Amino acid sequence: MASPVPPATAPQRRDRVVIRFAGDSGDGMQLTGDRFTAEAAAFGNDLATLPNYPAEIRAPHGTLAGVSSFQLHFADHDILTPGDRPDVLVAMNPAALRSNLGDLPAGGVLILDTDEFTPRNLAKVGYATSPLDDGSLDPYTVHRVAMTSLTVAALEPLGLGKKDAERSKNMFALGLLSWMYSRPTEGTQRWLREKFARRPEIAEANVVAFRTGHAYGETTEAFAVTYEVAPAVLPDGTYRQVSGNTALAYGLVAAARRAGLPLFLGSYPITPASDVLHELSRLKRFGVTTFQAEDEIAGIGAALGAAYGGALGVTTTSGPGLALKMEAVGLAVMTELPLLVVDVQRGGPSTGLPTKTEQADLLQAVFGRNGEAPVPVVAPSSPADAFDAAVDAARIALTYRTPVLLLSDGAIANGSEPWRVPEEDDLPDLRVEFATEPNTDDGRFLPYARDPETLARPWAVPGTPGLAHRIGGLEKADGTGDISYDPANHERMVRLRQAKVDGVAVPDLEVDDPDNDAPVLVLGWGSTAGPIGAAVRRLRTAGHRVARAHLRHLVPLPANTEAVLRSYRTVVVPEMNLGQLAFLLQGRFAVPVESETKVAGLPFGAAELAERLTPYVSKEQVPA
Amino acid sequence: MTTDLGMPSLDATQLGGLDLVPAADSPQKAKDYTSDQEVRWCPGCGDYAVLAAVRAFLPTLSIRRENTVFVSGIGCSSRFPYYLDTYGMHSIHGRAPAIATGLAVSRPDLSVFVVTGDGDALSIGGNHLIHALRRNVNMTILLFNNRIYGLTKGQYSPTSEVGKVTKSTPVGSVDHPFDPVALALGADATFVGRAMDSDRKGLSAVLEAAARHRGAALVEIYQDCPIFNDGSFDVLRRPDDAEARVIPVRHGEPITFGTDGRWAVVRRGFGLDVAPTAEVAPEDVVVHDATDVGLAHALARLSGQDLGHAVFGVIRQVQRPTYDDLSRAQVQQAAAGGPADLRELVHGADTWTVRGGTVITEARP
Ligand SMILES: Cc1ncc(C[n+]2csc(CCOP(=O)(O)OP(=O)(O)O)c2C)c(N)n1
Ligand code: SF4
Ligand SMILES: [Mg+2]
């Protein structure tokens, strides 16, 4: 008689799940997370991710410093953040358990690779007794799985070395989780075979490990239940999963296409901006030239040189690199050439926290140059939004002939989410006209004559007959562009450059205030959009009246900004710095602004922020 | 790992520095290259002579004036672009080679010149200079070496001799100087030349060869600053002193100098030395070979900070593919596969569609 097969129980439905994969930097946790994300995307879930990894490429094995994690939030409805606390924690070693367990709520699911819980590994992270058997894990639903040895055993027939075999254990974990959450599996198997196409034996090992993990879930009674998270019904459209750096790179390519200009990137590698350089380097077929310069200054210098020659010049960097570039940004202000300067912010000051996120470069972007050197500043609010923000920054640069600062950050750069893919024809027309003719009645060419509407000066590129002229960093005489030390001229030119930037067309600030009666406005910028949106949802669910708005344009601010600020009794600005936007708004409008700040290298959690906003909304609702 | 780039045969040995630059429709004169700006260097400044030489030699290139661009840094010499009726950018201190690199890569139809000083090129901009040279970006760099910071009123520079008394070194400089020619050779420059501001003929010849060279060409110009470093090159100008010091070199010719070729350059150990020609067998006189990098290094080392000897002319000239040609070829080759599809790019491999409340997943075939 055949052994009884356990009845296949129907998967239980969940509306959303947060999974965190944690392991050693060498364990491939980012890859595992990326794949699970791709599976969720292919399934049609809404999702948001938070990679969190150390700055060291390979910190000492098994130590707390070497822990790398990847958190994924996926749901059957639209979600705004990568989730505060995981429902499921996969810990590949004691260090991963030790550094992540604090975030797992009681009752949460914990999946451990027991093979790694050796006395030596336990001692490395200061466990006196093994949490596997000292009762400290009792509050959780624990699955003890000998992932390493199961993987090695499954791969034995392939004749791989032990080290290579062990390396596939992350795919075992992925297989197991894919089974638990009823994920489609073909995509991952196909992806593995493509990724390791040149080393078929490694591809095979990973596929086998993945299938072994999947089968382990299926056949082990410990995992009696599977879950299902249905696809999310988002607004109509075609979607893909995208990270912020990729979306930003695509936005630059799209902008150059819409402008009919070649794209020139001058850049020096720096975390977390390098992926934009990597991505664009692969897109030469779109007429993209990438130049890996000797330093950040050369990166922006070359981009400005290319812009002078008629290309869409771009330079990409992170905070420390932006500091180096600023003298050249000033030159671009003076020469009034279009230029995109992308700062993917990370924790500072100095080298700071290279792999963590922060928004502390805002004032550097707005003010960090010598002299009165106004520069438009644009900030994307999410990974997918980085595409639109890049296109918009290009629009401003090309229309107004000015450098533009695009402020992304680590959370946007490495996080990913579904992106409703745009059609090329829906993107703005960014075509530019180079100057080809003299622009005075008497047949002269004035390189600093201005368009009456935009105040932009003509873009006369070298090679244009009859328009030869000299530009540079010395103060320009209005109109002719000749060197001028005249006091009145300087006064006029400083004010003209400011007026040009002040006059950049940006849409009004939109306020989300469902009943138009909220006493409190929560105002954010950049990547805090997700946490603010999620926190405001929570407050509203709890019965509070609260409005929210988000700034895409930091310079110039939307025309209605002051009016919006004045129409609320309390304005709260959450930021990942010590209050830079709050400072800016108070300085600009002399309105009181409450500042809620966090500089932990991590985004606000939704619950955390809701809690911090609660006193403002509760206070407001006490009847006077 | 090296990859066969499968580049279109871009024979750098065939292509000259100006071959992609449109030719002038009609003959030009120095006057055509003179802008309406009043020249504002100090009376007697060596920069005047260089400006006159440049205005005179540019027409001989027979390229369209509007396809000529001068990019400079900061310093007295860096005012140069204002005085030429070409396109020009007076940029920021030390960064001209970087700006010129972006311009040269994006615009093969331009002849790009960089004007820089000893402080601009070798202090603040040292990094950009060596990288432009090693990359071999198609540009001609005029390095005005007056061995002083002129514009900031007379501090010592990276080419000032040890012991030099300046405003910032009242008891003498203790900094060991660079030799720009040796530095450029160390950076693998494909063209290195030197000339004297007052030597119109020699300067023009080197400049013309440099402009016609495909790749980065560095021309060091000894330039007098009568205000802050007066007479610094006098030993190379006064006939009596110059006699045994000034060594002009020409590719393929034996290196002899002085009145009636009284002195000769000979090999000594791994380097070179100077000996009376009469005492040297004719076959022992070194014949200049601008393609011999070892010889170029040795010639550079004949020049010391005391100017005991100074070699002038084209010291090195070799052909090597330029960064900008190779970079453009990669882009062109990628584009040769037909028009790039933006839609395909942004869609990526895996998409799903939401329509009227249902999710349609589209697995790839
Ligand atoms: C960032 C910056 N630092 C310092 C200066 C001041 N500065 C202007 S020119 C110069 C030195 C120029 O020396 P050199 O390149 O030899 O040119 P010269 O004036 O001798 O022709 C200095 C230090 C500056 N303009 N910018
Ligand atoms: S200070 Fe010297 S280098 Fe500068 S303009 Fe005067 S003489 Fe020439
Ligand atoms: Mg000088």
A412-430 per-position pLDDT tens digit = 999 999 999 999 999 999 9
**Who among A43, A240, A303 is closest to B351 (CB)?**
A240
Neighbours of A161 (CB within 10 A): 9
What is the residue type of A233?
A: V
Q: What's the confidence (pLDDT) of residue B71? A: 98
What's the pLDDT at B1? 43
Same domain for A85 and A175, yes or no, is: yes
Residue A5 has pLDDT above 80, yes or no: no
Ordered strands of the A67-75 beta sheet: A46-52, A67-75, A16-24, A88-91, A109-113, A141-145
Same structural domain for residues A211 and A258?
no
Q: Among residues A203, A228, A253, which one ends one of the domains?
A: A228
**Alpha-carbon distance B92 to B90, whole Å?**
7
pLDDT of residue A2 exceeding 50, the answer is no
CB contact under 8 A, B91 and A472: yes
Amino acid of residue A379? A
Mean pLDDT of A137-141: 95
Q: Does A3 score more than 80 pLDDT? A: no
User: Does residue B41's CB lie within 6 angstroms of at least one atom of ligand 2?
Assistant: yes
Q: Report the share of chain A in percent with pLDDT over 90.
A: 90
Residue A417 pairs in a beta bridge with: A242
Residue percentage of chain B with pLDDT more than 90:
89
Is A369 in the same domain as A328?
yes
Question: Does residue B157 contact residue B123 with C-beta atoms inside 8 Å?
Answer: yes
In this structure, the answer to whether residues A295 and A352 fall within a common structural domain is yes
Query: Do A266 and B102 meet the contact criterion of CB atoms below 8 Å apart?
Result: yes
Question: Is the confidence at residue A396, as pLDDT, over 50?
Answer: yes
Residue A477 lies in a domain: no
Percent of chain B with pLDDT over 70: 95
When the candidates are 3.90.950.20, 3.30.30.10, 2.40.160.60, 3.40.50.970, the CATH number that belongs to B1-232+322-365 is 3.40.50.970
A309, A465, A473 ranked by CB distance to B66: nearest: A465
Q: What is the predicted pLDDT for the residue at B365?
A: 41
CB contact under 8 A, A298 and B98: yes
CATH code assigned at A574: 3.40.50.920
B35 contacts B85 by C-beta, under 8 angstroms: yes
Q: What is the average pLDDT across B189-201?
A: 97
* Res A312: pLDDT: 98
Domain positions in chain B are 1-232+322-365, 244-316
> Where residue A405 falls among pLDDT bands split at 50, 70, 90?
very high
How confident is residue B330, by pLDDT bands cut at 50, 70 and 90?
very high
Please confirm whether the linkage preceding A556 is cis (ω < 30° from 0): yes
> Taking CB atoms and an 8 Å cutoff, what residues of chain B touch A424?
342-343
3-class DSSP assignment, residue A226:
coil
Q: Which residue has the tokens 């606000």?
A: A604
A 422-481 residues with CB < 8 A to B: 422-424, 461-474
Look at residue A6 and tell me whether its pLDDT is greater than 50: no
A244: in domain: yes
Q: Does the pLDDT value for residue A8 go beyond 70?
A: no
Q: Does residue A207 sit in the same domain as residue A283?
A: no
pLDDT computed for residue B350 by the predictor: 82
Query: Do A223 and A244 fall into the same domain?
Result: no
Count of domains observed in chain A:
3
> For residue range A483-526, what is the model confidence (pLDDT) as tens digits?
999 999 999 999 999 999 999 999 999 999 999 999 999 999 99
E strand spans, A45-134 = 46-52, 67-75, 88-91, 109-113
Say which residues have a Cβ less than 8 Å from residue A391's Cβ, sequence separation at least 6: A251, A254, A255, A258, A427, A428, A430
Kindly tell me if the per-residue pLDDT of A621 is higher than 70.
no
Ligand approaching nearest to the C-alpha of B197: 2
Q: What is the pLDDT of residues A60-75, one digit of tens each?
A: 899 999 999 999 999 9
In angstroms, the CA A301 to CA A306 distance is 9
**C-alpha to C-alpha distance for A210 and B306, rounded to whole angstroms:** 73
A581-602 per-position pLDDT tens digit: 999 999 999 999 999 999 999 9
Exposed / middle / buried, residue A58 (Cβ in 10 Å: 0-12, 13-18, 19+): exposed
Mutation target among B354, B360, B361, B364 for the A interface, most CBs of A within 10 A: B354
Quote the CA–CA distance of B248 and B263 in Å, as a whole number. Answer: 11
Q: How many Å apart are CA A46 and CA A63, to the nearest integer? A: 34
- Ligand 1, atom 3, lies closest to the CA of B93
Residue A469 in any domain: the answer is no
- Pairing type for strands A546-551 and A511-512 reads antiparallel
Task: Please tell me the predicted confidence (pLDDT) of residue B11.
Answer: 52
- Pair (A24, A76) in one structural domain: yes
- For B247, the enclosing helix (H) or strand (E) is strand B246-249
User: Can you tell me the mean pLDDT for B289-309?
Assistant: 95
Domain boundary residue among A228, A256, A291? Answer: A228
Lowest mean pLDDT among A48-52, A360-364, B47-51, B86-90: A48-52
- How does pLDDT run across A202-211, given as a tens digit for each residue? 999 999 999 9
Distance from CA of A52 to the nearest CA of B (A): 25
Residue A287 lies in a domain: yes
d(CA B143, CA B115): 6
A305 to chain B: which residues are within 8 Å by CB? 71, 89, 98-104, 106
B139 beta partners: B216
Six-digit token string for B345: 């790019």
**A222 and A245 housed in the same domain:** no
Residue of A284, A285, A417 for testing the chain B interface, max B β-carbons within 10 Å: A285
**What number is the ipTM of this complex?**
0.96
In this structure, what CATH number is given to the domain that contains residue A271? 3.40.50.970
How large is the average pLDDT for residues B336-341? 89
The answer to whether B128 contacts A297, with C-beta atoms less than 8 Å apart, is yes
Res. B3: pLDDT tops 90? no
Chain centre to alpha carbon of residue A194 = 26
Question: Which alpha helices (H) appear in chain B, and where do they start and end?
Answer: 46-57, 96-106, 118-119, 126-135, 180-186, 200-212, 234-237, 239-242, 293-302, 323-335, 342-347
The predicted pLDDT at position B240 comes to: 95
On average, the pLDDT of chain A sits at 95
Burial A552-566 (b: 16+ CB within 10 A, else e): bbbbbbbeebbebbe
Would the pTM count as exceeding 0.90? yes
Q: Are residues A208 and A105 in the same domain?
A: yes
Please spell the DSSP secondary structure of A589-614, one letter per residue.
Answer: H----EEEE--SSSPPPHHHHHHHHH
Question: How many Å apart are CA A273 and CA A292, to the nearest integer?
Answer: 13
In this complex, which of B85, B89, B331 lies closest to A287 when CB atoms are compared? B331
Find the helix packing angle between B200-212 and B46-57, rounded to 10°: 50
Neighbours of B134 (CB within 10 A): 18
Indicate yes or no: CB of B102 within 8 angstroms of CB of A309: yes
Which two tokens mark A485? 């030390």
Tokens of B71: 């990019």
Do A212 and A104 fall into the same domain? Answer: yes
Distance B146 CA to ligand 2 centre (A): 9
Same structural domain, A266 and A412: yes
Q: Answer yes or no: do B90 and A284 touch at CB < 8 A.
A: no
Cα diameter, chain A:
105
Report how far residue B108's alpha carbon sits from residue B138's, in angstroms, rounded to the nearest whole number: 9
The CATH number for A39's domain is 3.40.920.10
- Domain with A252 in it: 240-426
A42 and A134, same domain (yes or no): yes
Name the percent of chain A lying above pLDDT 70: 98
Residue that is last in its domain, among A228, A261, A292: A228
Q: Does residue A623 carry a pLDDT above 50? A: no
Q: Which of A385, A617, A601 is nearest to A522 (CA)?
A: A617
